[in-house]
Amino acid sequence: MLKKFTSVRFILSILLVLSIAFAAYSIYYKVEYWGFNFAPKQNSDVWTIEAHISFEPNGEPIKVSLTTPQNSSAYKVLEENVVASGYKIKKNGTRMVLTAPAQENPQDIYYRVMLFDNIDTRGKTKAPRPPKPQAPVMEEQRLAAAKQILAIAAKLPGDSVSQVIRLLNQVPPEATVQSYLPLKKTQAEMASQLRDLLAIKEIPTRVVRGFRLEENKKSFNPDLMLEAYIDNQWKIYDIKTGDKGLPENFVVFQRGGTSLIDVEGGDNSSIKFSVIKSVTSSISLAGRRAKLAGQKSRFDYSIYSLPLAEQNTLKWLAIFPLAILVIVLMRNVVGLQTMGTFTPMLLSMALVKTGFWPGIICFGVIIGIGLVMRFVLSKLNLLLVPRISSVVIFVIIIMQMLTVAGYKMHFDIGQSAVFFPIIIMAWIIERASITWEEDGAVNAGKEVFYSIVVAIVVYVIIRDEYIRHIMYAFNELNLVILVIVMLLGTYTGYRLTELKRFRPLVKG
């Protein structure tokens, strides 16, 4: 007989190893291909950037070449599509090339890209060292002026890059700067002057095109920023203020590179951008990411492809196995006697909804008044079912009163009464009063107390946003918990409470 059971344990241990291996693989897979995160960052910003390219054909075959954003650690392209009838589309590295035979009418091409902006990793990525910048070719006089500007800049606050940017943007401008810079100062012109100046100091730089994202902003040109390679990292600078770091609302569209758009076979080309921001839960983005990674079919059969309402329900369900594991541990390993097996779990669920202290106080009030009521009822000698039923109805009345009182007195505690499952409350009252009659107040109090203790332990665990997120996002952990619970079913060691109970039996 004993052999058979050791083999059950053996099989379960193997299952445990297998389930852990499966869960580990599955977690890796979800992080890698679906972009799931261990942190419960619930929402991600998704930006939709639309580029409207228009030009007039000049009778030649048309070739439009457009820079497109590329995936990086800072943001991921979720979806990309082009509306351009009659064009052949080819992706060529970072550039998208559209070709068409000669056209007559004015042309409109729409390019839309959805970006997921991973704010956490912005500007924190290490990059390999770029080659040393080539010193700009300048006439001697201009070079002297440039060196003078650099010398003046060195006295300004900030690091060497922001010093130069600040000097060039000073109002009123420094005399040397004024003579050095051209009259027409476009962003592009400023950027190229800055690059020249910094090249003299042998700082590698590149121009960054992107957008200051404002919701529903339409028809604007990309903003420019400057990135300089300092301390083994690319650091980004605002070319108007010299401030370091990526502004909150700036999304990078293109780094380095040459032109944003080239049109062959057309004149008067223009490109206009519009930006729409939408907030989406990061799990709901997973589908798009899975598609990018070529893992669409597997995703379609996961719970994350369900509508949000269903997902919210499942999110609650996903935390149950962990709560059950805690209860199994509390009962079979610690040895606490609670009222009913899963009552503490339901209590802790209620506590999550009410908040801790309001919930505990509310619970105490309901159970306390309910017990008094139950003792009055026991004097009336009612039959069991009508008696329990009247306790249920009485509990409902207490909840109504507490809720009204809470509302009138602006006292949040009362209002949380509704979250307690009434049947469970009535059942606890009935059970407690019977234990009271049968085994005395001490035993009844102990059972209620242990139930609350277990409920609080479960509450602390399931309230944690991290744990909740992880149990939902990596639901394969439930399989591991299942096997652990089954393994605990073969635990024949002493319970913690038995170490105290059987202490008199220890010899000596």
The residue from 32, 120, 310, 439 that contacts another protein (CB under 8 A) is 439
Q: How far is the CB of 350 from another protein (least distance, A)?
A: 23
Question: Among residues 5 and 407, whose Cβ is nearest to another protein?
Answer: 5
Burial 412-426 (b: 16+ CB within 10 A, else e): ebbbbbbbbebebbb
Q: Is 449 in the site for another protein (CB under 8 A)?
A: no
Closest CA to 400 of 366, 426, 377: 366
Q: Is 1 in the site for another protein (CB under 8 A)?
A: yes
Question: Among residues 9 and 52, whose Cβ is nearest to another protein?
Answer: 9
Site string for another protein, 88-107 (x = CB under 8 A): --------------------
Taking the CA atoms of 416, 421, 424 and 426 in sequence, report the sign of the dihedral they define: positive
Residue 339 token pair: 């009222």
Q: How far is the CB of 485 from another protein (least distance, A)?
A: 14
Question: Among residues 92 and 381, whose Cβ is nearest to another protein?
Answer: 381
Closest CA to 372 of 317, 436, 416, 423: 436
The residue from 310, 434, 441, 449 that contacts another protein (CB under 8 A) is 434
Give Cα 141 to chain centroid, integer Å. 55
Site string for another protein, 473-492 (x = CB under 8 A): ----------------xxxx
Site string for another protein, 338-357 (x = CB under 8 A): --------------------
Question: Among residues 235 and 446, whose Cβ is nearest to another protein?
Answer: 446
The span from the CA of 34 to the CA of 44, in Å, is: 14
Q: Is 495 in the site for another protein (CB under 8 A)?
A: yes
Residues in 280-339 that interact with another protein by CB under 8 A: 332, 335
Question: Among residues 183 and 505, whose Cβ is nearest to another protein?
Answer: 505
The answer to whether the CB of 269 falls within 8 A of the CB of 55 is yes
The residue from 230, 443, 461, 485 that contacts another protein (CB under 8 A) is 443
Provide the phi-psi class of 264: left if phi over 0, else alpha when psi is between -120 and 50, else beta: beta
Q: Is 172 in the site for another protein (CB under 8 A)?
A: no
Q: How far is the CB of 488 from another protein (least distance, A)?
A: 9
Q: Is 5 in the site for another protein (CB under 8 A)?
A: yes
The span from the CA of 107 to the CA of 86, in Å, is: 11
Q: Is 500 in the site for another protein (CB under 8 A)?
A: yes
Question: Among residues 307 and 504, whose Cβ is nearest to another protein?
Answer: 504
Question: Among residues 220 and 491, whose Cβ is nearest to another protein?
Answer: 491
Site string for another protein, 371-390 (x = CB under 8 A): ----------xxxxx-----
In DSSP terms, which residues pair with 77 in a beta bridge? Answer: 115
DSSP 391-430: HHHHHHHHHHHHHHHHHHTT-HHHHGGGGS-HHHHHHHHH
* 3-class SS of residue 211: strand
The answer to whether the CB of 82 falls within 8 A of the CB of 36 is no
The residue from 137, 171, 279, 505 that contacts another protein (CB under 8 A) is 505
Burial 367-383 (b: 16+ CB within 10 A, else e): bebbbebbeebeeeeee
The answer to whether the CB of 238 falls within 8 A of the CB of 230 is no
The residue from 2, 171, 279, 309 that contacts another protein (CB under 8 A) is 2
Taking the CA atoms of 166, 168, 170 and 175 in sequence, report the sign of the dihedral they define: positive
Q: Is 3 in the site for another protein (CB under 8 A)?
A: no
Q: Is 494 in the site for another protein (CB under 8 A)?
A: yes
- Part in contact with another protein (CB under 8 A); list of ranges 44-52, 193-201, 268-276, 436-444: 436-444
Residue 99 token pair: 């070709």
- Part in contact with another protein (CB under 8 A); list of ranges 65-73, 148-156, 181-189, 439-447: 439-447
Q: Cα angle at 194 between 189 and 199, to 5 degrees?
A: 130
The residue from 139, 202, 248, 438 that contacts another protein (CB under 8 A) is 438
Whole-number Cα distances in Å, 383 to 361, 378, 494: 31, 9, 41
The span from the CA of 130 to the CA of 195, in Å, is: 14
* Count of positions (residues) in the chain: 508
Residue 423 token pair: 């049947």
- Part in contact with another protein (CB under 8 A); list of ranges 44-52, 224-232, 352-360, 494-502: 494-502
Residue 163: phi, psi to the nearest 5? -55, -50
Question: Among residues 279 and 383, whose Cβ is nearest to another protein?
Answer: 383
Q: How far is the CB of 348 from another protein (least distance, A)?
A: 24
| Residue whose token pair is 């590329």 | 70
**Which helix (H) or strand (E) segment is 68 a member of?**
none
Q: Is 11 in the site for another protein (CB under 8 A)?
A: no
Binding site for another protein (CB under 8 A): 1-2, 5, 332, 335, 381-385, 434, 438-440, 443, 489-496, 498-507
